[in-house]
Amino acid sequence: MQIVILPTADDVAEYGATLFIRQLHKNPHSVLGLATGSTPLALYRLLIIACQQKTVSFAKAKTFNLDEYLGLAADHPQSYRYFMQQHLFNAIDILPSNTAVPDGSAADPVAACKQYEQQIVDAGGIDLQLLGLGRNGHIGFNEPSSGLRSRTRIKTLTPATIADNARFFEQGEYQPHLSITMGIGTILDAGKVVLLATGTNKAKAVKAMIEGPLTAACPASALQLHQQAIVVLDEAAAAELTDIEFYRHIERENQALLKRLTRQ
């Protein structure tokens, strides 16, 4: 697990956007795993700017989103499909047919989960997966107690996650308590994973993910098993790490090595 600690949330977004741009430069046909929530928004804004300035193109890329609320149609303002259309897809040059989000209104959601897994396989697997981090350590909607080898499935949201997301729904509006989410095993199959976390409210989950045991109690700790997992943090999210100076030292050495290799 590569730990990158940066001064601000804006720096985190810029670092993450650079990783996606590099991936698309390396392989324009890349399969990208995407996330919703407040953390990726700044990253998406940077990708939109890069696309509009012709610095990068999504024309040949495919995307798969982590999750969706069960019971919301794609055009519902609180659905994650709607979120992605508004905050990324409508502003870049990606083909609509190359964007996939779990079907929250599927007549047979169990079958839809299996189909989503197969879609990812048929696309050749995800090259670069973006993740956020829940305050309870969840990734996607893989809440605590999720199996570390789980696949795309229906999950019940915890009261804490429901409370955290309530701000997006109007008073009295129906708020789903179920979701469809990529499993932890599905996420770990990605070639590379980048997790972004910012703010003091994520600090405890960050510490559990990086320095705690590998446990279903903190689903994000499963990233300890991934050979190419990059965790990008701002100072506030990194504040509770015990070995913070050691992580800074490692990253400085990594960057120095990268520069030497680039010059060769």
Active site residue 29: no
Rounded CA-CA distance 27/61 in Å is 9
- List 65, 98, 136, 142, catalytic entry: 136
Active site residue 226: no
Q: What is the torsion angle, in degrees rounded to the nearest 10, for the CA atoms of residue 101, residue 231, residue 196 and residue 31?
A: -30
- List 138, 142, 226, 234, catalytic entry: 138
Q: At what angle do helices 9-26 and 41-52 cross, to 10 degrees?
A: 50
- List 68, 103, 143, 189, catalytic entry: 143
Contact 21, 43 (CB under 8 A): no
**Token representation of residue 205:** 């989950």
Among residues 201, 72, 70, 44, the alpha carbon closest in space to that of 130 is found at 44
Active site residue 165: no
SS (H, E, C) 172-186: CCCCCCEEEECCHHH
Phi, psi values for residue 196, rounded to 5°: -110, 135
Active site residue 138: yes
**Token representation of residue 118:** 């197969």
**Token representation of residue 142:** 């893989």
Please name the residue that has the structure tokens 């046909």: 29
- CA 230 to chain centroid, in Å, comes to 11
Rounded CA-CA distance 129/230 in Å is 10
- List 11, 67, 117, 189, catalytic entry: 67
Q: What angle do CA 220, 226, 232 make, to 5 degrees?
A: 60
Active site members? 67, 136, 138, 143
